[in-house]
């Protein structure tokens, strides 16, 4: 694995895991980074070329000229694919899942298949939204004051406390995580404290997600425009995106392969990489069979 820079209207930091075979591009979620794919990349590179970008304004990538919105990052991922190959299988988590779905619709020639992992999508049951999720996801939407409130709250926390709190939010069982996940989380947490754009890009990204996830009908229309083979994965203990949302998506697209991971939170490929890879391998094998 090596960190390289790829141009997309500015420098994009990419973790290039190497490997031979069809291109796989891994797209992280909100406040995530390319490190989110480190546990599954060693297996994927056995049969694929694997790369994972830090999106605009996140990880080691500064805000690009296009901005840090979902729409801007769709074009970032498109440029990454063009840099490495003609098309790709794209795996996206959370915000990265929404970006992946939009990419499949807007640039179908670049995408041969997609994996949506707990993707950002409309709330299924508003009365069941967890208070912790509501507070975290709505604060950036507060006009004028949202960014200040985020900065004020973070100023009361150490990096270690902030990472621990974030992990409690996105993982069902943080204590069981591979130690390297904590190391990467602390690395990125310390990095974000040095970046003057860290809060503004978070706010920009959240505000760009909101219009896509407020109403089901427009989102369903977008789902039905996806023509590529799709694997949909969701953790049953996800505190960020309700599992019921993925069940609704599965009803909209019964032709997709949908798998619920019992006892797992918002980032299944980190919390249970072996199970994630087993599901991925089985799904990809069906694609090869169908193409034969």
Indicate the Cα dihedral angle 146, 130, 222, 49, nearest 10°. Answer: 90
pLDDT at 175 over 80: yes
What is the secondary structure of the chain as a DSSP string?
-EEEEEESSSEEEEEEEE-SSSEEEEE--TT--GGGGTTTHHHHTTTSEEEEEPPTTSTTPPPPTT-SSHHHHHHHHHHHHHHH-S-EEEEEETHHHHHHHHHHHH-GGGEEEEEEES-----S-GGG--HHHHHHHHGGGSTTTHHHHHHHHHTTS-HHHHHHHHHHHH-S-GGGS-HHHHHHHHHHHHHHHH-TTHHHHHHHHHHHHHHHHS-HHHHHHHHTT--S-EEEEEETT-SSS-HHHHHHHHHH-TTSEEEEETT--S-HHHHSHHHHHHHHHHHHHHHHHHH-
| Pairwise CA distance, residues 157 & 139, whole Å | 17
pLDDT at 145: 65
pLDDT at 139: 66
Mean pLDDT for the stretch of residues 170-189? 96
Domain that holds residue 165: 2-291
pLDDT at 128: 58
Residue % of the chain over a pLDDT of 70: 91
Asked if 287 contacts 257 with a C-beta cutoff of 8 angstroms, the reply is: no
Provide the sign of the torsion angle of the four alpha carbons 78, 261, 189, 162, taken in this order.
positive
The encoded tokens of residue 209 equal: 């997600």
pLDDT at 144: 59
Count of domains forming the chain: 1
pLDDT at 249: 96
| Pairwise CA distance, residues 218 & 99, whole Å | 15
The encoded tokens of residue 98 equal: 């929404």
Which pLDDT band, with edges at 50, 70 and 90, does 98 fall under?
A: very high
- State the burial class of residue 182 (Cβ atoms within 10 Å of its Cβ: 0-12, 13-18, 19+): middle
pTM: 0.94
What are the pLDDT digits (tens) for 226-250? 999 999 999 999 999 989 999 999 9
280 CB neighbour count, 10 Å cutoff? 23
Strands 257-261 and 11-18: unpaired
Beta-bridge mates of residue 91: 26, 115
What are the pLDDT digits (tens) for 201-220? 999 999 999 999 888 999 99
Asked if 57 contacts 69 with a C-beta cutoff of 8 angstroms, the reply is: no
pLDDT at 130: 60
pLDDT at 161: 94
Q: Look up the CATH number of the domain holding residue 178.
A: 3.40.50.1820
What are the pLDDT digits (tens) for 109-168? 999 999 999 999 997 655 455 665 555 656 666 665 667 777 787 888 899 999 999 999
pLDDT at 141: 62
pLDDT at 89 over 60: yes
Residue % of the chain over a pLDDT of 90: 82
Provide the sign of the torsion angle of the four alpha carbons 237, 240, 244, 248, taken in this order.
negative
What are the pLDDT digits (tens) for 50-77? 999 999 999 999 999 999 999 999 999 9
Asked if 286 contacts 256 with a C-beta cutoff of 8 angstroms, the reply is: no
Indicate the Cα dihedral angle 230, 271, 132, 221, nearest 10°. Answer: 0
């Amino acid at each position: 694995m090596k960190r390289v820079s790829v141009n997309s209207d500015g420098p994009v930091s990419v973790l290039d895991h190497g490997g031979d075979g069809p291109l796989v591009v891994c797209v992280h979620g909100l406040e995530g980074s390319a490190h989110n794919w480190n546990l599954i990349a060693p297996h994927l590179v056995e049969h694929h070329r694997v790369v994972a970008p830090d999106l605009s304004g996140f990880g080691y990538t500064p805000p690009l000229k296009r901005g840090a919105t979902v729409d801007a990052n769709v074009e970032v991922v498109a440029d990454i694919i063009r840099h490495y190959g003609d098309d790709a299988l794209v795996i996206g988590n959370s915000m990265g899942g929404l970006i992946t779905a939009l990419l499949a619709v807007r640039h179908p020639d670049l995408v041969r298949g997609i994996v949506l992992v707990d993707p950002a999508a409309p709330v299924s049951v508003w009365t069941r939204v967890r208070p912790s999720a509501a507070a975290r996801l709505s604060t950036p939407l507060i006009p004028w004051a949202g960014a200040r409130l985020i900065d004020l709250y973070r100023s009361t926390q150490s990096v270690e406390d902030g990472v621990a709190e974030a992990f409690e939010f996105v993982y069902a069982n943080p204590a069981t995580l591979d130690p390297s996940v904590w190391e990467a989380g602390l690395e990125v947490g310390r990095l974000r404290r040095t970046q003057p754009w860290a809060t503004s890009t978070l706010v920009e990204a959240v505000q760009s997600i909101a219009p896509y996830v407020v109403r089901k009908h427009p989102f369903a229309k977008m789902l039905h425009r996806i023509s590529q083979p799709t694997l949909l994965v969701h953790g049953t203990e996800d505190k960020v995106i309700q599992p019921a949302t993925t069940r609704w998506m599965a009803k909209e697209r019964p032709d997709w392969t949908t798998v619920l991971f019992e006892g797992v939170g918002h980032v299944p490929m980190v919390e249970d990489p072996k199970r994630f890879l087993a599901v991925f391998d089985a799904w990809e094998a069906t694609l090869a069979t169908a193409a034969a």
